[in-house]
Structure 1
Amino acid sequence: TAPRLLPSAHRKPMKTLCPDTFTFEFENLPEAYGRNSTYLCFEVKTNTLPSPDFPDSGIFQNQKHRHHAELVFLAWFFKRLRLGECYQVTWYVSWSPCSRCADQVANFLKSHGTVRLRILASRLYFSKKLENREGLHRLSQARAEVKIMSLKDFEYCWENFVNHEEKPFQPWMNLDKNSEGWNAELKNIHRNPRDLLTEGIFYQQFNNKHKLKKPYYKRKTYLCYELNGPQLVKGCFHYEEGHHAESQFIEEIGSMGLDQGRLYFITCYFTWSPCHSCARKLVSFVKGNSHLCLKIYTSRLYYHWIWKYIQGLQHLQNSDVPVTVMTDREFEYCWTNFVDNKGMPFEPWEKLDSYSKNIEERLKRILE
């Protein structure tokens, strides 16, 4: 299957970049202002020698009219594919692919099983946007390897794609620190929702204490779920900037393609009860999927003194999505089933039962 060929995508790749262009465009800043183009340095390895019309390396950049470098490469590459040939393609890119490019690259890889792609990115493109995060997931599902460039990779690009005139590569300030930051972001994006929680996260985030002692830390929403069907499915999500754990859960369950003729029981364990907006989303999701039966346990109540959050809890209860406060029994169950506990038993914190009873009384008054 051919990619969507671009009218201006038949240009030949560049051979080298000038040093200033490389340093400016590939600098791995956390906030890379003014860098509105993607530069893509590529290498293609095959089991035969390269031909003059198919160089084994080169550089593409974005073209006019939103022709992104990734799609320009695909259009150029597709015309040179040979039947039965195996290809190992490596990209060094200043920005990771956007969601639109990720989709087309993933489709291309699925249609061409003899092509393997490795992507090394200096920076992640608008990594907080859900569509771009999903695009990186789709690339991984299509067998593309996505990584963050390290000092060694920048040095390699300098030696092989830059007209450096025998000058050595000069790392910019905080290069290693920035790579570590982007690596952490990519690891978070690729995090499998079925990964277990660490002991520290569980005790920090699921504890039901009214107030924290110093040193303070932010208690986020963590959602652990268990779906009972033909097979038992478990998963964990946590709040990410602009993307609530409840929304991630809804997307995950909605993407499973569950049999609508079968009844599924789902139990969720929350650190914070759903906000009013997420409560409405959960109710709408369950009402739109009559084959799902949802029950919620929560460690703490989120802004339980504010009217709209009170209404959210009432809306869940009145829509047959029961909300119950976690007790020692549920905390121990979560510890056993959702935590990398290394075989250690659950150790209740001080006044756990007392906190649970107080929160339970508060929820009872809200629902009555």
Structure 2
Amino acid sequence: MEIEAWISEVPLVEPLRIAPGTSYTQRSIIIRLRDGDLEGWGEACQSRRVLGETMEDALASLKKIIPAIKKASYESIEAIHEFTEGLDATPSIKAALNIALLDMYSKSEKRPLWKLLGGYRESLVTDITIGIMEPEEMAQKALKFAERGFSIFKLKLGENAEKDIDRVKKVRDALGEGPTIRVDANEGWRYEDAVRVVNRIADYEVELVEQPLRHDMLHELKMLRRESPIPIALDESVRTPGEALRAVEEDIADIINIKLMKSRGITPAIRIIAISETAGVKNMVGCFSETRLGITATAYLAQAYRNVYYYDLDCDILSMDPVFRGGSEPEGPVRRPSQGYGLGVTLSNEGYLRPVKIV
């Protein structure tokens, strides 16, 4: 087994501001595994805030496990899960290798990965994210996206409770009835503010409230869920299957948002879905700052399982120029899968990639 790695850095169409800070680019590590004529692609996105790792941490981790990677098996989904879970690596590197090995396995089986995983739905409709701005600016941005066919809007909040209420009001007034509004505070509210905001914005037909409180405020999240007329979705509070089990046992979530970088890949994410569905909790899928490659892997997971109801897969739509083509192609808000084997992605813009020496 051979491995190559690159750093990808793609400019956003415009800066994206959320409660913890502002992003200007999408950065990740792209890996390619090769075994003879067979190749598999994977992607690792880091987050110090959510995963406790930096890109430097991830690259150091990757270099350390090269001997293990050279002996990796992709003969079955369970073998891939066992291999990546057993690695002494950062979460994002485990995720990238899990994705790449599944890409290889499905190619060896001559099947598209989305069909190999289950193929429950032929397409999905993503939301579109609107970063924190002045209320009137967010309303105008929503209208521009609506003109492009988007009907599900994810509003980033968490900066100022009173202004957040006005942000939701202005967007709803601009869109009118019909379009779906979701909000995401990214851990930004205090408990008292969250109670006030969720009860006020319920008047504006909000579908869900994502991560209203700090990830470790589990007791307060449970109390807020009882107070809230809107379903509560957990993101930063649930990364792994073990944390998903804790969330359903403590009854603190209506929805669990799965991101492959948090879960350590597709196979652990499948276990989160099983835990959630058994407990009557719905799933959502989201992204960090992946290219089309990582978005495709997440979309194919979502297409495979009935319990994934909500889709926040817009990173490649918000960037200047995708590094990859094919895979989960967006046509406005609708994402349809490739019929090619594996992920079905093709490298199309090497200008955004910088090779990294790892061996």
Q: TM-score, normalised by structure 2?
A: 0.27
Structure number with bigger Rg: 1
TM normalised by structure 1 equals 0.27
